Amino acid sequence: MPALVKRMLDKGMFLFGYMNLLDDDSEKQIEELTALQNKRVNFACDKYVIFCSVMFSISICIFSKLHQGILRLLSQQHEFLV
């Protein structure tokens, strides 16, 4: 087992959790590791949704300011032409 861990670390792989090969509770440990991974995925998804909503709000604000500036320039050009 230590050789496997050393090869994984040499390749830059990381272990999350462990398997106790002496007990027969491998199904329970797999369920626990799966639940932990699901929590991590849900957390990442929640952060992504928050990030996307913030970025959407920022882009709407920037677009609004840009739109106002364009309208202001167009109105100034219209006054100049009239």
pLDDT digits (tens, 9 = 90+) for 43-59: 988 888 888 888 888 88
- Residue 30's domain comprises 25-81
14 part of a folded domain: no
Structural domain count of the chain: 1
Which residue, among 33, 54, 79, has the nearest Cα to 62 in the 3D structure?
Answer: 54
Which residues, at least 6 apart from 34, have a Cβ–Cβ distance to it below 8 Å?
A: none
Report field, pTM of the whole predicted structure over 0.75: no
CA distance 15 to 1: 13
Inside any domain, residue 29: yes
Which has more pLDDT, 77 or 43?
43
Residue 31 lies inside a defined structural domain of this protein:
yes
User: Is 6 within the bounds of a domain?
Assistant: no
Q: How far apart are the C-alpha atoms of 34 and 37, rounded to whole Å? A: 5
Whether residue 67 lies inside any domain: the answer is yes
- Domain contains 33: yes
